[in-house]
Chains A and B, each alone.
Chain A
Amino acid sequence: MSKILKDLYYSDDHEWVKVLENDVVLIGITDFAQSELGDVVFVDLPEEGDELVQGNEFGAVESVKAASDLIAPISGEIIEVNEELAAEPEKVNQEPYEAWFLKVKLNDSKELDNLLDHKAYKEEISE
């Protein structure tokens, strides 16, 4: 059974968004996503300063078997990239809700309304 945390927002593309403060969020992939992908070997991410646009592809998670596109769950400017993932991509499998990919400053916090809460996400993955 996949783990789902209560206080996060979720996208249909199996990413989570955690709101920190002042419209700053962390983005990662869900337990369900990492389990479907299998052994993650590389996370291909954009750079600090780049812009995300909700719904647009911004990188990929590569497991042994396949590359899976990352779709931006929200729009905003990347203010930090988790450099630890370059050396330890397996963290994505081990602790999917700790191994964040990007820290982003939201353009418009109303975009969060387009995402799912934990209950809706649970339904989404049980279909």
Chain B
Amino acid sequence: MENLKKTSLYNKHLELGAKMVDFAGYNMPILYTSIKEEHQAVRNNVGMFDVSHMGEIIITGAQAQSYLEYIFTNKVYDLNPGEIAYGMMLNEDGTVVDDLLVYKFNKSEFLLVVNASNIAKDYKHLVESSDGFDILVKNISEDYSEIAIQGPEAEKTVNKLLNINLKELKFFNYDQYEYGSHRLLISRTGYTGEDGFEIYGSSEAINQLWDIFIDGGVTPCGLGSRDTLRFEANLPLYGHEISGKITPIEAGLKYFVKLNTDLDFLGKDALLDQIDNSLSRRVVGLELSKKAIPREGYKVYKDEIEIGYITTGYYSISIDKPIALAMINRPYTKKGTKISVKIRNKMVPGFIRDKKFLKDRK
């Protein structure tokens, strides 16, 4: 555990009695009291996550916008300053380097928020893809801390505890706010399927905010509930639904890829070819017909034939059903297809379903 990095909130986690784990090289809280309670706090009220391990990379330069258009799957040109886009960076063969948020400051300055586990790889990819572009890539991950305030009561809670009114801040927009002597960047984004905000600031500012939110009754939430929440909302996790071996088409993330434009981007040709000729598998939803839990890596069968594997699966806390996201070979991807999942050498029956798990909420 000696070589693990710590976020600036590390001591706060210990004070709260968090169970700590190694995640992407960081010693992070997996839970404080219970994954279930933390999950429900976010679905029904408000919770707070330390997401300081996320990577922040700044792209500056006269050609920053055309460079981003080239390395990012979603549209950048039609973003206004203050707007954010979700998308991916791809390898030449269409597989995913990482998924990320792009914050547009202006045409020549952008903030990229990337996965902790991929910071070094992303930085290398960004630099190696920058030939011919007049831009500068700067990794500022160590300079900032970040918390996420998530849940239906997030807006009210920030207003009450920080006296910052976020009512006018739209989904996937950000703005800068003063708090005492601190400057904060706040975006209406998140990874839970609920309303909420991500707040970036200096370590000092974020430590101060953490205490205010804890004292104000906001539930601290760990990586355990972060995963159960994002999964139910069908938000992909790098290394699971997307990876260096999976394309956005296979992952069902075509919506975030500007294939319907003339814009050229790294990996585009491979994706077009895959759509036309060779899409052999896709991430789908899956539900079991009896109580058992379809865990990541378990194999999926149609009769005796292996047809895929679970990418993420849980006994869903919000909808009380055993559900999963799974990478399934075509033509078994159709909704209603009866399948089995092999769990501890037993074949458990289930079926392919849509991925909008949360619409099953009572």
Binding site for B on A (CB under 8 A): 38-39, 41-42, 44, 57, 60, 62, 64-67, 69, 86
Whether B293 lies near A39 (C-beta < 8 A) is no
B105, CB-defined interface residue at 8 Å: no
Stretch from B28-36, B87-95, B146-154 that touches the partner: B28-36
A-facing mask of B1-34, CB < 8 A → 1, else 0?
0000000000000000000000000000011001
Interchain nearest-CB distance for A110 vs B (Å): 29
| A67 and B295 within 8 A (CB) | yes
Interface centre among A60, A65, A66 (most CB of B within 10 A): A65
Which residues of A are found within 8 Å of B82, using beta-carbon distances? none
Say yes or no: A62 contacts B293, CB within 8 Å: yes
A64 touches B317 (CB 8 A): yes
Minimum C-beta distance from A1 to chain B (A): 13
- Is B31 a contact partner of A41 (Cβ separation < 8 A)? no
Q: In chain B between 295 and 315, which residues have their CB closer than 8 angstroms to a CB of chain A?
A: 295, 314-315
Q: Does B193 touch A at the CB level, under 8 Å?
A: no
CB-based nearest A residue for B224? A65
A64 touching B35, Cβ below 8 Å: yes
CB of B344 within 8 A of CB of A44, answer yes
**Nearest A residue (CB) for B348:** A44
Report whether B31 and A42 are in contact in the complex, using a CB–CB cutoff of 8 Å.
no
The 3 closest A-B pairs by CB, nearest first: A39-B36, A41-B315, A64-B35
Q: How far is the CB of A125 from chain B (nearest CB, A)?
A: 16
Q: A64-B224, A67-B295, A86-B291 are in contact. Are A42 and B344 (CB under 8 A)?
A: no
- B151-181 contact mask (Cβ, 8 Å, vs A): 1 or 0: 0000000000000000000000000000000
B315 touches A64 (CB 8 A): yes
Known: A62-B315, A64-B314. A42 touches B35 (CB 8 A): no
A66 and B312 CA atoms in complex are apart in Å by 12
Return the chain B residue nearest A36 by Cβ: B19
| B residues in contact with A65, CB < 8 Å | 30, 35, 224
**Contact yes or no, A39 B34, CB < 8 A:** yes
Contacts of B224 in A (CB 8 A): 38, 64-65
Q: How far is the CA of A106 from the CA of B202 in the complex (A)?
A: 63
Min distance, Cβ A64 to any Cβ of chain B, angstroms: 4
Q: Report B31-84 residues with CB < 8 Å from chain A CB.
A: 31, 34-36, 39
Closest-by-CB residue of B relative to A64 is B35
How many Å from the CB of A33 to the closest CB on chain B?
15
Complexed CA–CA distance, A28 and B291 (Å)? 20
A57 vs B34: C-alpha distance when bound (angstroms): 27
Partner of A38, one of B35, B314, B344: B35
Q: Which of A60, A66, A86 is close to B344, meaning CB atoms less than 8 Å apart?
A: A60
Q: Is the CB of B293 within 8 A of A38?
A: no
A-facing residues in B306-330 (Cβ within 8 Å): 314-315, 317
B113 at the interface (CB under 8 A from A): no
Min C-beta distance of A65 to chain B, whole Å? 6
Please, which residues of chain B bring their CB within 8 A of the CB of A69?
344
Minimal Cβ-Cβ distance residue in A for B291: A42
Q: Which residues of B contact A62 (CB under 8 A)?
A: 293, 315
| CB nearest to A43 among chain B residues | B291
- The distance from the CB of B324 to the nearest CB of chain A, in whole angstroms, is 13
Chain B residues with Cβ below 8 Å from A60 are 344
Q: How far is the CB of A78 from chain B (nearest CB, A)?
A: 17
- CA gap between A120 and B317 in the complex, in Å: 37
Q: Which of B34, B36, B293, B317 contacts A42 (CB 8 A)?
A: B293
Q: Which residues in B have their C-beta under 8 angstroms from that of A86?
A: 291
Task: Evaluate contact between B292 and A64: CB separation under 8 angstroms.
Answer: no
Nearest B residue to A59 via CB reads B344
Supply 17 further A-B pairs (C-beta < 8 A) apart from A41-B293, A64-B228.
A38-B31, A38-B34, A38-B35, A41-B315, A42-B291, A42-B292, A44-B343, A57-B344, A62-B293, A62-B315, A64-B35, A64-B36, A64-B314, A64-B317, A65-B224, A69-B344, A86-B291
**Contact code string B120-163 (vs A, CB < 8 Å = 1, else 0):** 00000000000000000000000000000000000000000000
A57's nearest neighbour on chain B, judged by CB, is: B344
Q: Which of B39, B291, B293 contacts A67 (CB 8 A)?
A: B293
What are 17 pairs between A and B in contact, CB < 8 Å? A38-B31, A38-B224, A39-B34, A39-B36, A42-B291, A42-B292, A42-B315, A44-B292, A44-B344, A57-B344, A60-B344, A64-B224, A64-B314, A64-B317, A65-B30, A67-B293, A67-B344
